Chain A
Amino acid sequence: MRKLIALIAAAAALTGCGGGSDDADLVIYSGRSEPLIKPFLEEFAEKEGLNVKIRFGDTADLVGTLLEEGERTRADVFIGQDAAALERLREDGLLQPHEGTARVPERYRASDLTWTGLSGRARVLIVRDGAAHPESVFDLTDPRWRGKLAAPTTRNVSFRDFITVVRLKRGDEFARGYLEGLKRNGVEILASHGEVRRAVGEGEFDIGLVNHYYVELEKREGSDVSAVFTDQEPGGFGVVFNLASAGITASSEHAENAAKLLDYLLTPEVQERFARANFEYPLLPGLEAAPGVRPLEDVLTTEVSYEDIARATEGTEDLIAEAGLEE
């Protein structure tokens, strides 16, 4: 028995049973996917000589984790796929302000500097070249587009935020009717944005609902597709513009390193490189989108506060479920 206990203890020690990661200089929770952001985080860690630990996960799950951990969390920085996630954390007092974020235009960050957008994405249509398409996203319910439309799983954050904005701007009844209309039109729900862009790229569907950079990613792979920015007429609805965002936790034990990371991600050079790697919009004034991407100043985006989106998210889930589009 004693031998057994010794064996377990040895195994436990070997695998670092006692937490063991207390040597981290910076702990990051990232809801942005690993292949995309890890190179930048690793580059930062190497440059600063820091031991960085990252927990990758789904943005919503990580928000829940942080809410449960509260001020006991070991996370120093939270990176999320949308601004609403950060807004939720701010409301619960889990973020601290960082002066460095002031360099980001005010509409792309929290007014109290507790979080900042890192990059922007517009909600557009990916359209097969030569195929007809509507100019308004709301016309997608027209029978004309029946069977031609693909969308990502409605559990996707970007899709949900889009519906939330529709609710905020046009009301719940309108949003419900819109969702039901999409369903009537036989919208094909695919597993992810990646699937949607490939499906349109391969000509299987004419139109897909995606973020703008998926169009560019598909083009890079040689497909003949274009991004259609919908509802661009003066005074129109515009396209929903969302932000991948980051903030420093209120209880961070490595706030200095956390601040360094945000400053690093907000340097013009990194912003530009990130924009080129992934075709998202850089948010600092004076920086341009990657070649081929419609310049942001030519895009009409929907006026809406991320605070309101965060508050209204829950009702959207119910609405999607009631419309029978939850997949």
Chain B
Amino acid sequence: MTGAGARAAAHDGPRASWLAAGAVAAVAALPLVYVLVRAAGAGADTWSGLLDRRIPDLLANTIGLALAVCAGTLLIGTSLAWLVVRTDLPGRRALGVLCALPLAIPPYVGAVAYADVLGPRGALRDLLGVESLPSIFGFFGATLVLVVFTYPYVFLLASAALHNLNPSYEEAARALGRGWVRTLAGTTARLIVPALAGGTLLVGLYVLSDFGAVSLMRFDTFTTVIYAELGGRFDPPGAAALSSVLVVLTLLLLASGLAVRGRGRYEQTGAGFARSSTRELGRGRWAAFAFVAAVLGLALVLPLARLVTWTLDSAAGGSLGDYAGWTWNSLSVSFLAATVATVCALPVAVVMARSRARGGIVVGWLAQAGYALPGVIVALALVAISTRWFDPLYGTLGLLVAAFVIRFLPQAIQAEEAGLQQIGRNLTEAARALGASRASAFRRVVLPLLGPSLAASWAVVFLTAAKELPATLVLRPLGFDTLPVRVWTPARDGLYADAGPAALLLVLISLVPLALLLIRRRGAALSL
């Protein structure tokens, strides 16, 4: 090899994958382009009005919430991970699985349960026998719900990192005379910074995009106001302008998160190393156990118990047939989204993994525009684009699936690219040398090896699509109600109990893909 250029040329994927990746990237970036163009054309009046009245408060609310939730999840997720992976916590294996399960409970479902139990007339107040509780609604409630239902992102990445950590650094630190607390804080923590940054970044991105939980906790962030601008206020340019601010905010978060993750990367030498030592907690074991149990009580027992009791004494409307129909709708739209996203991600992942050309990077970034596009914004853009230029698409299931694919494509790309990176080039080269065409080498050698990554990509998109709320609310075809819609509609009117059965069904169908992910790779597919 004479230089990087020649190498890139030799290893650039077949032209077909470039073309396909380019097409995918163009579609994926369409909403982003639309929002930015529309915002730029919103006019000075719209902008100055928003800058005066809304944007300062919204920035404070949204950034404040994101910071609080990131700090909370970092604290809880990391300590749970350490306790479960590196200590002699009683029942650590089972607890480790349980700690990841809140991912099957969408935050807005958690919010329904919390609004009821911790609300002004809720069970907690009756339990404590007090006249009234401080209001759960607002910043505190939104933070609480989001921390409790998103900490698993940090937990999963942190525990995977702790699990895979080469203990030699820590042993060195101990040998040099550091106590275990200082080793933990100084050495271990520093070694897993990339994982913590990755997990916290996922949490932050989620907070910026969340619509359901903050709405039910009656706390205004960009998403809720954008949604309102599309509703009664009906101000599309204003909505686009606010969306562009949110997109910029998301991009800033993404950039800083990736920078921290990259800067903190440490090389590990060698792969076959001993298991890390287990810290003995001594008498603190049961205190630690109580802490884990308390988190699980808030994140699993409380919401699930409420959903189950609601379902059991449900006088909620809807026959069994209705629920079957809504479940079927949820399953089919998530199935389509997962399948299409997994297929669309493949050429992009190939181009990203196999090409060092600048074009590959650009295509990769554009195809992952979904990270910067909360569901409300994808919905707003697709409604506008389809009604203006692709009218037959408007109101079809296809458009909803497209929204999901754009939104969740990054997760599929990440999973598949990670898989491709692990497949050595020499394998394809060997196949080529033996006379296989490029396409057949890919099909017969790479694809079979990529199977687990494709499955992970499929499962993670299915999981997130099944829980998606705001884009579904806006884009669903006439008469096409999914479980999230059926949770939202009564909950938004304060009829929390009526949301119970649909919420419980939603949690149950989310458990299947989540279990797949947890069994397969300790949740690594959920990473960035």
Contacts and interface: CB of A to CB of B under 8 A. Distances in A.
Contacts of B401: 17
Interface in A45-84: 53-65, 67-70, 72, 74
B177 interface: no
Contacts of A61: 227, 230-232, 473
A12 B494 contact: no
B317 A54 contact: no
Nearest to A193: B494
Contacts of A18: 396-398
Contacts of B373: none
B21 interface: no
B256 interface: no
Contacts of B232: 59-61, 63-64, 85, 88, 313
Interface of B: 53, 115, 119-121, 132, 135, 137-138, 218, 220, 227-228, 230-234, 236, 317, 329, 332-333, 335-336, 339-340, 343, 383-384, 387, 391-392, 394-398, 401, 473-474, 477-479, 489, 492-496
- Tell me if B's interface is mostly helix, strand, loop or mixed: helix
30 contacts: A7-B339, A8-B336, A8-B343, A11-B339, A14-B332, A17-B397, A18-B396, A19-B395, A21-B477, A27-B478, A57-B489, A61-B232, A62-B231, A64-B231, A64-B232, A64-B234, A68-B387, A72-B387, A72-B394, A74-B478, A85-B232, A190-B121, A190-B494, A191-B493, A191-B494, A194-B494, A198-B121, A313-B232, A327-B135, A327-B218
A325 to B, nearest CB: 11
Contacts of B231: 58, 60-64
A53 B479 contact: yes
Given A17-B398, A68-B383, A191 B119 contact: yes
Given A21-B478, A69-B387, A8 B339 contact: yes
Nearest to A66: B234
A68 B236 CA distance: 8
B336 A11 contact: yes
Closest 6 pairs between A and B when the two form their complex, measured CB to CB: A192-B494, A191-B494, A60-B232, A64-B231, A61-B231, A60-B231
Contacts of B398: 12, 17-18
Contacts of A63: 231-232, 234
A162 B185 CA distance: 57
A112 interface: no
A53 to B, nearest CB: 5
A4 B339 contact: yes
B36 to A, nearest CB: 19
Interface of A: 4, 7-8, 11-12, 14-21, 24, 27, 33-35, 53-65, 67-70, 72, 74, 85, 88, 152-153, 155, 188-192, 194-195, 198-199, 204, 313-314, 317-318, 326-327
B13 to A, nearest CB: 16
A64 B496 contact: no
A8 B333 contact: no
A70 to B, nearest CB: 8
Contacts, number: 132
Contacts of B397: 12, 15-18, 20
Nearest to B331: A15
Contact of B220 (A16, A60, A326): A326
A15 B493 contact: no
A63 B121 CA distance: 32
Nearest to B333: A15
Contact of B335 (A11, A57, A74): A11
Given A11-B335, A69-B387, A190-B120, A74 B494 contact: no
Contact of A15 (B336, B478, B494): B336
Contacts of B474: 65
A53 B227 CA distance: 24
A194 B28 CA distance: 43
A231 B427 CA distance: 85
B121 A17 contact: no
A67 B229 CA distance: 12
B519 to A, nearest CB: 24
Given A11-B332, A15-B333, A188-B132, A64 B478 contact: no
A270 B42 CA distance: 47
A12 B392 CA distance: 16
A243 B234 CA distance: 22
Contact of B121 (A8, A85, A152, A195): A195
Contacts of A58: 231, 492
A185 B394 CA distance: 48
Nearest to B239: A64
Contacts of B115: 191
Nearest to B137: A327
Residue of A55, A189, A314 most packed against chain B (CB within 10 A): A55
Nearest to A18: B396
A25 to B, nearest CB: 13
Contacts of B317: 34-35
